[in-house]
Structure 1
Amino acid sequence: MAENPAPISRDGFVYYNGVFYVEVEGKRYRQEDPESLYRILTEQGPPPEKRTKTGEIAKRQPKDSHSPGFYTAQMIFYGMKPLKTKEAAKKKLLASYDDPSSEPLQVPERISLLEIEMAEEWRGRTNATTSKTAKVAEASGSNQKDKAAEKKPRTKQTARKTTGGYPPPKMPAESRSYPEFYDDDNDDIRDLGASLPKYRTKQTAVRGRGVLNTVVVRRDELREKLKAKKASGSQKSKTELIQEIYSLPTKDARIILHNLLEKVPPVEKALARELTLLTQSKRSAKSSQASTSTSEISAWTGLYDIHAPRLDDWSESERVVPTIEVYPSSTSAHLWASFEFGIISGIMRSVYAVPPGGAVNADIPFEWRGCDQSEGQMTFDSSNRCMLTFLGDGRLEGRMQGSFLGTFKLSGLLTNTDDQGKPVLAKSRKAQLEEVRKWKREWRGLNYHNYEVANKRRWGGWGGTEKDESAFESDTTDGHHKRDSKFNLERFVKDLDKNLSDGSLSDFDSDTGGYSFAY
C-alpha cells in the first residue's frame, strides 16, 4: 500500500498531492484566479441572509469570512509585496484592478517555474515510493510461495463441506491521520475526504497515464516558453538600453540602481564615486549662486526627494515621487515643511526653534497634520510626529509616525529637478517666506472643528462654516495659542525608537492616543 510523500516546502510555498499552496502563519492557502478574487474583493454574491428562529432577518449578518492570511497569500501568489493587515491587503489587491496603466493580475515567471520544479520533484518522490512499495510486495509474495512449497503433502484428503451464510467480516485497516490544508479559516476548508489517497486492491495497468504524460509535456512547454521570453527580453543592444534608461521615471531608475547595488558587488564603488561627484557639483553650483548668509540656509533647505519603502504599500504613493520641502519662518521660531507622499500629504512644524548652531546634523522634532488622499479625511492625532536630521551634504534622514502609516524610516536627497526631470530654480528668501505663510494657513485649517464640518458635509448635512485655528504664540508677535501640557522630548524620541524596534511598522495602534486639538 503506497503512501504519499511528505509535503515539499520551498520559499514559503508548499506542494502536496498535486496542489500548490502558500503557507502563511502555519496555514496553507490555494490560489484564487483573478476573476474569483475580484468577486471576493468587491463582495459580489453575498451569503444568504441569516434569519432568526421566528423567520425574521437577524440583526447581525455574516461578514467577510476570509482571514488576513488568505489575502496575504493571494498577494504572494501574484508576486506582490505581502501585507499582513486584512484591509490594507484587500485595498492593495483591488487597486491592481482599478489601475488602467497596470497589467492584469498574473503569476510571475519565477513562481510558475517554482511550481513546475516542485511538481516534478513530487512526481519523482511518488514514483520512488511506488517502486519501493512494489518491491516489498513482490518480496512478500515470493516468501509466501516458498513457505507453501515447504508444506508436506496430505496423506489423506476428505471433501470439504460448504455451508451457506455470510463470509467472515474483514477487519478495517489501521486508521491514519493526514495534515489539514486550508484555503481559509471558515468556509474555505477543503474536503479532506476528497484529497485522501484511494488504495487499489488489484490493478494490472496504470490508468490515466496518457493524461499524466500530456500534463508533463504541457508544463515542459510552458517552462521553455518562459525561458525563451526571458532571454528575448534581456537581449538588447547598448543603444536600446541607453534610450530606455533616459525614458525611465525617477522612481523606476532608483529601483534599478538599488537592485544593481544589492546584486552586483562591483557596482558599489562606481555608484559611490558618481554620487560623491554629483553632490560636490551641486554644492559648488549653489555656493557660486548665493551669498554667504543664503548659502548657510540653502545647505539644508529646499525640496527633497524622499525614499521610504513603507509608502510603496499604497498605490497612490507609487504614482508620485514623495517629497518634503522645508524652510524656516521669518523669525526662525519654527521650521516649516510641506510633504507630499501620494497616499497622504500635509504640513510639518518643528517643536522648537532652529538650533543656535544651525540645523545641520541636529535631530529636529516635528509635529504634523495632513489629509488622507484615499479617504479625504484630516488627520491631526497627538501621535503624528517626525524626527528629521539634515546632514548638510544635500541629504536628510528621519523617522515618521502617525495615522494609518505606522512608524517608518525615510531618507532624502536635495534636488533641483521636479519629478519629470525638469530643472527647478532655488527659491529666493522672499519666495520661501511666502511658502511658509501658505503652510501656516493650511496648518491652522486642519483642526477638529473643520473636521466635523467636512464629515457632516460628506454625509449630506451642514455642520456650519469652517474656522481656522488661531496663530500659535511663537508663530507671530500677536499669537496667543498655547500648548496645554509641557512637551516631553525624551518621550517623543523614545516612542519613535520603540515603534521602530518592536516591529510595529505596518499597524497603527488606535488605543495609544486620541485626537489632540490644543497646540
Structure 2
Amino acid sequence: MSWVPPVSRDGFFHSGASFYVEVDHHRHPRCDSGALYKLLTWTDPPPLLTKKGIVAKRQPDPHKDSPGHFYQAQCLHYGLKGYKQKPAAKKHLLAAFNATTKDMAVPPHILALEKSLNEEYKAVNEVAMQKAKEEEVRQEKMYQIERKRMQGEREKERQKEREGADGMLNEFAAAGITISQGKIAGTQSDNEVSPTKSKKVSEAELRKDIAALSETQLRAMIEKLVFDKKVQTFKKAAVKELDALKKAQAANAKVPKGKGKGKVATLAETMDDEGEYLVTAPYLRDGWGDGYQTMKLKMSGSPGRSHQWVWFHFGIISGIMRSRGLLPEHVGDKTHFHWRGREEGEGEMTYGSDNTASITFVGGGRIRGRMRWNGQLFEFIGKKVPRQNIIWSRSVRSWKDEYNGINDRSYEHARTARWGGGGGWYGGDDSGDASSNSDTVGDPYAEGSEDEASEGFGLNCAY
C-alpha cells in the first residue's frame, strides 16, 4: 500500500510499482525494446482482397501510432536526448538499436537510478506506513476513551432517570397512591367490571363512600343503573326521586348557594386536565430496558369540550388517546380512552378496539392510569411539569390528525409498501375515518374541519 507520493530524481520517478518519466503531465514507463522496435518499424499491410481479387469493403482498423510525448519519454529511458519532435525521436531511437539483434540495452546508470529510487521509495513509504499505524492506534485509543466517556454520561443520565422514576413512585406511595410494578393479571378490559358477589356493606360505610364520590362519578353511576334493563325497579324509583328533586329546586330557586365544607376541587380550578406530565410505568421500564426510562404525555380537552385528547410517548409505544364517555370535571374523576399508536423500531401500527386506557386525576398535579397494550394491562403514574404561557388546545388538531391517520387504509398502504403488491405509504384524505360529531368547527387554532374519528376498528396492527 502506498502511503507517500512518488520519489523523483533527474527527471525520473518511482511510485513503488512503476519507474517512469513524466512528459507534459503524461506518465510513461519504459517500453520493452522488442515492442518498441515493432512500433518504430511498423508498415501498413496491403489491403485485404476478396476471392475475386477486389479490395474488400471491410478492412482492419488502421494502425494508430503512439503520440510524440511517448517517444520522447522512451528516448530518456534509453539514455538518449529527449527529442520533442516525434520524427526526430523515432529516428534516434531506431538508430540506437543493434542492427543484428534488433535489440537496445538500457544504460547501466539508468538501471542504477531505477534501483536507487525504488529503495528510496520503499524506505520513505515504510516510515510513513509506521506513522500511519501509530496514528491509527492513537485514534483508536481516543475513540475508546471518548466511547467510555459517553457511556459513562449515558449511564449517569439513566441513573438520574431511574432515581427520578423511583422518587416519583415513592412520592405517590407516601400519598397513598401505589401501582402494580408489572402487568395486571387477567385479560379483563379496564372499562369492564367482573361479575362478583355483592359485598355486604353497612349503611354508614355506604353513605361515606357515596359522599366521597364526585359529581361526575355519581352521574355516571346513576345513568348506568337507570338505563340497565335488568334493574327496571331502580329506574321507576329514580324517575320518582328526580321529579321530587325538580320540585324542590323550583321552590328553592331564589335561595343563594353557600360553599359547603369538603367541596371537591374542580379540574377547571386545578387545571390538571391539560398540560405536560412526566410519567413512569414500571412494567414498560423493567420489561424494555433503560432505553425507555423517559416517558411523558401531554393532554388537553378539545375547544368545545367534546373529547379529552392525550399525546403520549412511553418509549416502546407512542401515540394518541381519545376519551370515551364523560369528560373529567373534578379531582378524583376517571376518564376512559381509546388509543392508536405505533411501536418503536419498525413503527408497527396498533389501533384495535382492545387499545384502551384510563386516567384518574388524583389531585396535586398527579395522575394515575391504566393502559392495555399487546394484550397486557399495566399501570402508570404521572406528575405535572410546570409550563407557562402554553395554550394546549392548539395541539389538539395535530393530535386528531395523527389519531385519524392510523386506520385500515393507512395499514393497507403500509403493508403493500413494505411487502409489495402496489400502493405505497398512505398520505391522503382521512375524512372517511371520521364522523360528524366534531366540536372544533370554527376553532380559531385550526384550519378546516376536524371531525372526530369513527369508532369502527378493523385490523389492529400493521407495519
Decide: shared fold, TM above 0.5: no
Q: TM-score range by the shorter chain?
A: 0.3 to 0.5
RCO comparison, higher one (Cα < 8 Å, 6+): 2
Scaled by the length of structure 2, the TM-score of the pair is 0.39
Whose radius of gyration is greater, 1 or 2? 2
